[in-house]
Chains A and B, each alone.
Chain A
Amino acid sequence: MSHFRVAGLVKRFGALTATDGVSLEVARGEIHALIGPNGAGKSTLVHLMSGLLRPDAGRIELDGVDLTPLPMEARTRAGLSRCFQITSIFPRATVRDNLLLAVQACSGSSLRLFADRGRETRLHDAAQALAERVGLQSVTARIAGTLPHGAQRQLDVALALAARPKLLLLDEPLAGMGAEDSETMTALIATLKADMAVLLIEHDMKAVFALADRVSVLVYGRVLVSGTVDQIRADARVQAVYLGTETA
């Protein structure tokens, strides 16, 4: 059973405590949503979990393995993948090349200087499968930077999926998306449950209520409350925090 656990994470930036003792758990096959008002520290938390930032205190564990001392690249190899709130792809390359790069990372060493990668059919098959998984199979020859916003975000997710993660960190996947793109992305995320645990950071409440098994609310760097979707919806403190904020 894949079990992702974060315990007592703390991160300070000078006088500002962005993360103030955060603990939460995600079970295998669960989509755990993390919501909270702007400035609550969601991005910092994602950076801490993925390894972009080092915590001042606390522990990050996946499947019993302590990830805390590991750099970002090692965490990915241990089964924790992330996508990015601001789309982070390789815009000058084709979609296929983007996917190949992701697949290459987890199928053997990249310290091969003489063999032509174009001949590695298995890599190309894997990249094609990945494209089909997220629905980008019709645009693999397009330059990634020319894709519409929604497709780029799909690619961002696809890149993270290549490593067959045990836990996927989705950092606002629906950011900047219109209604149709949001539905496509929501449907995609729903299909991920079968293979991995998902920690979903989102503002889009419609998606959160549709997808999440459990929800945690982050306010001022602390987890205010965790529970099922219904519990969270009914919680008075959560309503107070969101008073004035539009919910779907």
Chain B
Amino acid sequence: MTSVTGHTSARLRWAPWAVFALLAAFPLVAPLLGLDFYVGFVRRGMVFAMAAASLNFILGFGGLAALGHAGFLGVGAYALVALADAGVRSAWLLWPAAMLAAAIASAIIGLVVLRTRGVYFIMSTLAFAQMLYSVAVSLRAYGGDDGYNLFERPAFGLGLDSAHEPTFYWVVLGLLALVMALFDRAGRSRFGHALAGIRDNETRMRALGYPVQRLLLVAFVVAGAVAGLAGALLVSHNAFISPATMHWTQSATLLVMVVLGGIGLRWGGPLGAAVWIALEEVLKHFTEYWHLPLGLLLIAIVFVAPRGLAGLLATPRGTGAT
């Protein structure tokens, strides 16, 4: 529904394309500017953009405030680690497997948590994500609390060298673009409209005959699967995984990213992720107590910009036609 996504003014519609071009060019330009280090940094930002976009799908469209999304990042990551450890090399096997593992985890958890709504939903997603965290901590085979190194990246085939940093960067960029395009289509599909309807008036949707529980579960699983992919990419980026990636505070951070960017707005996830990660990085340069300004900023956002940054850019709702 256009009234949900708002209608970015004509001036800004080229912006995503421009950003994509800039991102694609960055690894080529960076060495010339002495910014080599930041290629990895931007890559990490893109992975979190993907994760945040998947959370925005259920939060913005479905209206489900899921506070346990990082759990599915972790499931995807550990699935990749387990399979890579067992000898699977190809990215084309590893990534779908990571997504499948995350999808299964979100299906099982979804069946339980989607029986609840409102605060019970928030709290039970939180609790089950922490459950996944404690499972990860107990996995001594993969380092438990200390974490696990995985230096070898999945092989892309097609003559590409996944160990080459810019190559991996472009693959991540490509996947992010694909994910955003798919979410965009989903938003305009029957499913997307139905989700938005559930968010706006669940009882009426049931009265209209929609299988609401089933639709929410599908959304939950799709979002979980994409988070799993992001988790798999994160492991390869960091060459390391630890349960800390799945701690509930990480889920809260993802939520912050989505709200910062703008809930339900098409670019809310990536925008919020980019800004938050950039802020973290900048603040870390100035002080070791960087949580403090971030925390204060968060409180400020709640009162000053509840619709997030993308909300400030979109025109008032309701001016678009179908």
What is the interface of chain A, defined by CB distance below 8 A to chain B? 50, 52, 71-73, 76-77, 81-82, 84, 88-94, 96-97, 100-102, 104-106, 109-118, 120, 124, 141, 143, 146, 159-160, 162-163
Contact = CB atoms under 8 A, between A and B. Distances in A.
A73 B212 contact: yes
A71 B211 CA distance: 10
Interface stretch (B169-177, B183-191, B304-312): B183-191
A109 B215 CA distance: 10
Given A88-B203, A111-B215, A105 B189 contact: no
A82 B207 contact: yes
Given A110-B210, A113-B222, A118 B322 contact: yes
B194 A110 contact: yes
Given A90-B197, A116-B185, A116-B189, 9 more contacts: A72-B206, A73-B207, A94-B3, A94-B321, A110-B215, A112-B189, A113-B222, A124-B322, A160-B207
A115 B190 contact: yes
A143 B318 contact: yes
A76 B210 CA distance: 9
Given A92-B200, A101-B197, A113-B189, A163 B3 contact: no
Given A93-B200, A111-B215, A115-B189, A106 B209 contact: yes
B218 A111 contact: yes
A162 B189 contact: no
Give chain B's interface secondary structure class: helix
A93 B222 contact: no
A84 B3 CA distance: 24
B208 A159 contact: yes
A114 B214 CA distance: 17
A106 B218 CA distance: 19
Given A88-B203, A90-B197, A104-B194, A97 B208 contact: no
A112 B317 contact: no
24 contacts: A52-B203, A72-B207, A73-B207, A73-B208, A73-B211, A88-B204, A89-B201, A90-B201, A92-B200, A92-B318, A94-B318, A97-B1, A101-B194, A102-B208, A104-B193, A106-B209, A111-B218, A112-B189, A113-B189, A114-B186, A114-B189, A115-B189, A159-B204, A163-B209
A95 to B, nearest CB: 11
Interface string B278-322: 000000000000000000000000000000000000000110011
Given A92-B317, A114-B185, A73 B209 contact: yes
Contacts of B68: none
